Structure 1
Amino acid sequence: MQLIYLRLGTNDLEKARAFYDATFGVLGLPPSTGQFDPPYLMYKIPGGPNFAVGEARNGEPATYANGGTIMFTADSDDQVAAWHAAGLANGGTCEGKPEPKPRANGAFGAYLRDPDGNKLCCYHGVSFG
């Protein structure tokens, strides 16, 4: 099995674009440039699934998953801190400042909510397995 696509909802595509272009740019991804109908943003994650953000297709307001978190990795502690700062500067809110996280065996991480309330985190030095 392979996960190839992950999509989050947004109620304001341009706010989402500013947030994700900035936070993903810090992690080395180019801005979303796709033109889709209905409109949504698409980011190609090297070695991972495509990551999309768009309005709910049923026309209802987008909502976030209570208890859901999406994790990204960074190449350094400084990159985690820059990811967090870029998110705060582009409409995100802090859910955990950049620091070593005891629950992750001291790996350096930070948490944000995007402008629509989706919870994201970014870590350096975390391992699973």
Structure 2
Amino acid sequence: MIHHVSIGTNDIARARAFYDPLMALLGFRSLSNHAASCDYGIAEIQFSVETPVDGRPASAGNGVHICFQALDRSMVREFHRLALAHGGTDAGEPGIRAQYDAHYYGAFALDPDGNKIEAVTFAAE
């Protein structure tokens, strides 16, 4: 069981501006306002964006992505739209990914630091 996931950023203010609306859409709230991290969850931290503790620059992992559960396809589309509106880059428009499952509806984006994120639902439209 995964307790939480953290990804790196080189600019907390930029990361907060990017992730605040996305996490709110998914039902997460900001749980802290630290200078070195943005922490989101419901009651406990489940996802955070932080500056690396080793002091070296953050970099995105090739082949790594974080996928968030969306309630329905409209939420997946809104997740993608918000990501692009807040400085993200398209990494896969909303749509069916039949190679995974006939009902797998997802969208991908890169955050401003290059971290790959996704929203997915299996709910029919």
Which has a greater percent of strand?
2
In 2, the alpha carbon distance for the partners of 1:49 and 1:104 equals: 29
In 2, the alpha carbon distance for the partners of 1:42 and 1:34 equals: 6
Q: Report 1:62-101 matches (<5 A).
A: 62-101=58-97
Three-state SS of the structure 2 residue aligned to 1:16 is helix
- From 101, 111, 114, the equivalent of 2:111 is 114
Q: How many aligned residue pairs are there?
A: 122
> After TM superposition, where is structure 1 displaced by more than 2 Å over at least 4 residues in a row?
none
Structure 2, unmatched stretches of 5+, are none
Partner of 1:50: 46
| Residue 34 of structure 1 pairs with residue 32 of structure 2 | yes
Q: Report the TM-score when normalising by structure 2.
A: 0.88
Three-state SS of the structure 2 residue aligned to 1:111 is strand
1:9 positional shift: 0.5
* Contact 1:3-1:49 within 8 A present in 2 as well: no
What's the CA shift string for 1:11-54, capped at 9, x where partnerless?
A: 11111101111111111222x25143x621111157x9621111
In 2, the alpha carbon distance for the partners of 1:4 and 1:33 equals: 15
* Contact 2:31-2:45 within 8 A present in 1 as well: no
Partner of 2:2: 3
Three-state SS of the structure 2 residue aligned to 1:82 is helix
In 2, the alpha carbon distance for the partners of 1:72 and 1:50 equals: 11
1:104 positional shift: 2.1
Partner of 1:12: 11
In 1, the alpha carbon distance for the partners of 2:71 and 2:119 equals: 10
Structure 1, unmatched stretches of 5+, are none
C-alpha RMSD of the superposition: 1.9
Three-state SS of the structure 1 residue aligned to 2:105 is strand
